[in-house]
Amino acid sequence: MDHRHPHPESLPFIFGAQYYRAPTPEPACWEYDHRRMKQLGFNHVKYWVQWRWAHRGEDRFHWDDLDRLMDLAAANDLAVTLNIICDVAPVWLYDKYPDAKQIMRNGSVIQPYANGCRQIGGTPGPCYNHPGALAERQKFVAAAIEHFRPYPALSMWDVWNEPEQSFPSRTLSDPGSLVCYCEHCRRGFQQWLTKKYGSIERLNEVWGRCYEQWNQVEMPRSRDSLQDFVDWREFHLDTMTAEAAWRLEYARRLDPRRVSYLHVVPSTTEPFSCVTCVDDFAIAEHCQVFAATMNGAPTWTTQMLGAARGRVAYNVESHMNHGSTSLHQRINGMNDLLRDFLPQIGLGIKGFLFWQYRPETLGVESPAWGLVRLDGGDRPITKAVAEFWAKLRPHVPAVFRSNPPRPQIGIWKSRKNEIFGYATCGRFQPLAESIDGHLQTLYWNNYAFRIVSGQMLEGDDLEDLKLLIMPGCYYVTAQEAKVLDQWVRRGGVLLNEAHLAAYSDCGRHSRIIPGCGLAESWGIREIDSTASHHLKLAAADMTTAGFDNLPEDVKKALKDFGATGGQFFPIRLRVGGIAWGSDRYAMLEGEGWQREGTFDDAANCIMSREIGKGAVYYCGTNIGRGAKKDAAGLLALLRTAIQRAGLAPILGAQCAEPGAVRVDVLLDGGRPRFITIVNRTDREQELRLEAVAGTWRELISGEPWWLDGKPIKLPARFAGMLIGASGLTQP
């Protein structure tokens, strides 16, 4: 067995809560709270091991509080995850290494401070490239593992809580807050570039510079020059991945009996982007299991599961009880819990830890987040959690071994393209909304999909993939384009948005679009393009006899758009109806290509063609972001591509109101064992499941459900899990 990938049979379905972030909850609460967690049926608890709190002198450690907590966990049959926290550096570190502090782009030195989630101070920690600070982190991590590994209650090591380079750069509302610009990063960046480009001449060619030696290379401070900025952020991404790798290696080497992982806030472009945070796909490769902070589905969950790539995946920080001093948490009950957890289970999540059990009394996160009141008494969510777990627990072995079918639709999400997108417009929103438009439309219309990284595309790691969607695909590497062409010709179906590979890793904009040779290979060109804000419709377009003969929805869309331009513009689809483009408008031309959509009835905006054994649907706009205006047209186009790829909704699910209901299935031995269903609307919905039959039983109510392909009435806001399938009627 690969030591990095334990067999699922050896792993638990975890259910519990994070409990201790020193110094709260206070010791007077501990015994009662642990007894209550056991009464609630919990099997797991998490404690923080904080660098500043535990490593109080260079050679002096404080473990007393955690020692007592480990004993309490054992006494109450609670397995423990210890979460190592290194982003709270001890005071003595900066006395020893004054130059270890991170430096922002604007030259400001980040002084250690306390904030709402790091009450003990020392955040955001030292520069990750400072060798002295690295040695001290390694010393602390090793000491923590060696001290706690004898405890029988210890089950897992979480070696990094929500990896993030530096809190000030989380949203980049001020680009000057980007880090780190210290001398250690400068030297590290030069070494990274040497490895990537090989020669200073090659670097000059790509960047457009005239350096004569490596030590002349400067740290990029402007987004506008593009390629050097992409390289600069990728260097920091690789730094973060290297940090994750050594922490996980320490845990595996020093305590090989325990599972080791880290947990991310999924990098979904906003606010945890690869520009400011981590590459989930790269970091997950070093984990035995993968985990995340998550709320519900689909965005965070599908991103995290895509990065996990088949590893057992946990939600180890459920934030459904979020709030603050100024905005206290909601009064959550059973239906809130079901609507949050069941979709995650349906997608393949294998356990949950709440953040957190008892509300803290320090800072602005109090009195929210807790499963219980400040005084330890039950809240409505406390009772709901106990009931939910009592109902689910008998089925946990089957849930753990059951998995959703492997998705055959992929959504491309490249870190290079993401950095490029930020560099060109100074914000993440356009690309984030393009990706999320496709993601939400597929999810709420019951299609299975997964996130595909740029590295996966470059490596032709597209196993079983039949349809690939590429939102906002401006920056595409030459290798990605080569693989993409080969994959399509082998039978893949591609749906891409405007300006495919218009910029690549050669450091230049392409003179012909699509770039990287795809225009020549596929016989298509973007013959001209403009921003959607410049578009206009001539008055004649809305007065001719041809206009009068258009369907009413098309006429309304054209009239609403008028001659003013804007972010969104209407595209008349060949299959009928209107799709909405956003931001970009490219006019397409290609011999043998079929028109799928047009803005003005004169030029092609969406075209399709068979290429080899596959097909390409080329959109001359950001049609995913256009779904913010109305998703119906995007759904119509996606269904055309999905049908061309030979795919169908999960269990043949059909809902009378598109986008209203989500269905997921978990297969045990290839046969349906669990079905999760969520109606997100305030209206009763009619659902038909055509590919499954038999008698099922609902998890919470215990009521029988007979599935025979006939319509099912779902109450408003319904969330449920059906148990005990008896066979598929079709593949």
What are phi and psi for residue 24, nearest 5 degrees? -120, 155
Is the domain of 571 the same as that of 663? no
Q: Give the DSSP per-residue string, 401-464.
A: H-BPPPP-EEEEE-HHHHHHHHHHHSSSHHHHHHHHHHHHHHHTTT---EEEEHHHHHTT--TT
- CA pair distance 448, 100, nearest whole angstrom: 46
- What's the pLDDT score for residue 10? 84
Residue 517 has pLDDT above 80, yes or no: yes
What are phi and psi for residue 709, nearest 5 degrees? 85, -5
- CA pair distance 18, 544, nearest whole angstrom: 66
* Residue 2 domain flag: no
Q: How many domains does the chain have?
A: 3
- CA pair distance 647, 166, nearest whole angstrom: 42
CATH code: domain of residue 349: 3.20.20.80
Domain boundary among 615, 647, 679: 647
- CA pair distance 632, 617, nearest whole angstrom: 17
- What's the pLDDT score for residue 546? 57
What are phi and psi for residue 2, nearest 5 degrees? -65, 125
- Specify burial of residue 358 (Cβ count, 10 A radius: 0-12, 13-18, 19+): buried
pLDDT, tens only, 253-295: 999 999 999 999 999 888 889 998 899 999 999 999 999 999 9
pLDDT, tens only, 429-443: 999 999 999 999 999
Look at 726 and 684; give whichever has higher pLDDT. 684
**DSSP code, position 361:** S
> What's the token pair of residue 219?
């740290």
* Residue 15 domain flag: no
Q: At what angle do helices 429-443 and 415-425 cross, to 10 degrees?
A: 130
- CA pair distance 29, 554, nearest whole angstrom: 64
- CA pair distance 470, 461, nearest whole angstrom: 15
How large is the greatest C-alpha to C-alpha distance in the chain, in angstroms? 86
> What's the token pair of residue 582?
């956003």
Is the domain of 424 the same as that of 275? no
Domain boundary among 361, 385, 401: 401
- What's the pLDDT score for residue 559? 74
- CA pair distance 648, 644, nearest whole angstrom: 10
CA distances from 334 to 36, 137, 552, 617 (A): 19, 42, 44, 43
**DSSP code, position 106:** T
> What's the token pair of residue 161?
């809580």
pLDDT, tens only, 556-585: 777 777 666 789 999 999 999 999 999 999
Residue 544 has pLDDT above 70, yes or no: no
Residue 33 has pLDDT above 90, yes or no: yes
- CA pair distance 288, 312, nearest whole angstrom: 8
Is the domain of 538 the same as that of 575? yes
H or E element: which one contains 173? none
Q: Which of 617, 677, 674 is nearest to 644 (CA)?
A: 617
Residue 641 has pLDDT above 50, yes or no: yes
* Residue 731 domain flag: no
CATH code: domain of residue 704: 2.60.40.1180
Provide the mean pLDDT of the chain: 94
Q: Which of 346, 396, 351, 280 is nearest to 664 (CA)?
A: 346
Cα three-residue angle 313-314-319, rounded to 5 degrees: 140
Contacts of 633 (CB under 8 A, 6+ apart): 571, 573, 577, 578, 579, 580, 623, 626
For residue 451, what are the β-bridge partners? 411
- CA pair distance 706, 697, nearest whole angstrom: 9
pLDDT, tens only, 143-176: 999 999 999 999 999 999 999 999 888 878 788 8
Is the domain of 682 the same as that of 643? no
Long-range CB contacts for residues 184-187, cutoff 8 Å, separation at least 24: 184/99, 184/127, 184/129, 184/130, 184/131, 185/127, 185/129, 185/219, 185/235, 185/236, 186/219
Look at 553 and 621; give whichever has higher pLDDT. 621
Q: Which of 687, 680, 676, 679 is nearest to 721 (CA)?
A: 676
* Residue 239 domain flag: yes
Q: Which residues of 166-176 are buried (b: 16+ CB within 10 A; e: fewer)?
A: bbbbbebeebe
Residue 82 has pLDDT above 80, yes or no: yes
Residue 393 has pLDDT above 90, yes or no: yes
Q: Is 539 helix (H, G, I), strand (E, B) or coil?
A: helix
Is the domain of 477 the same as that of 556? yes
- CA pair distance 176, 166, nearest whole angstrom: 13
* Residue 18 domain flag: no
Residue 540 has pLDDT above 50, yes or no: no
- What's the pLDDT score for residue 382? 98
The H-assigned helical ranges of 452-589 are: 454-458, 478-490, 518-522, 545-548, 552-561
- CA pair distance 281, 240, nearest whole angstrom: 12
For residue 607, what are the β-bridge partners? 595, 618
* Residue 11 domain flag: no
Is the domain of 109 the same as that of 130? yes
Q: At what angle do helices 200-207 and 183-197 cross, to 10 degrees?
A: 100
Is the domain of 209 the same as that of 68? yes
57: left (phi over 0), alpha (psi -120 to 50) or beta: beta
Is the domain of 49 the same as that of 195? yes
Q: 235 is in which domain, residue-wise?
A: 24-401
Q: Is 308 helix (H, G, I), strand (E, B) or coil?
A: helix
- CA pair distance 216, 200, nearest whole angstrom: 10
> What's the token pair of residue 153?
């209650």
Residue 183 has pLDDT above 50, yes or no: yes
pLDDT, tens only, 314-360: 999 999 999 999 999 999 999 999 999 999 999 999 999 999 999 99
Look at 113 and 5; give whichever has higher pLDDT. 113
Residue 218: Cβ within 10 Å count: 12
CA distances from 580 to 14, 273, 626 (A): 43, 26, 5
CATH code: domain of residue 593: 3.40.50.880
For residue 529, what are the β-bridge partners? 586
* Residue 599 domain flag: yes
Is the domain of 493 the same as that of 639? yes
* Residue 358 domain flag: yes
For residue 21, what are the β-bridge partners? 24
Residue 129 has, within 13 A of its CA and on its CB side, a CA count of 22
CA distances from 531 to 210, 256, 542, 569, 578 (A): 34, 56, 22, 11, 19
Residue labelled with tokens 């997921």:
664
- CA pair distance 224, 95, nearest whole angstrom: 38
Is the domain of 577 the same as that of 678? no
- What's the pLDDT score for residue 538? 60
- Specify burial of residue 520 (Cβ count, 10 A radius: 0-12, 13-18, 19+): exposed
Is the domain of 459 the same as that of 395? no
> What's the token pair of residue 271?
């606010």
Domain boundary among 401, 431, 459: 401
Report the first-to-last Cα separation within the chain, whole angstroms.
Answer: 32
Contacts of 233 (CB under 8 A, 6+ apart): 274, 275, 419
Is the domain of 224 the same as that of 262? yes
Total count of residues recorded for the chain: 731
- What's the pLDDT score for residue 168? 84
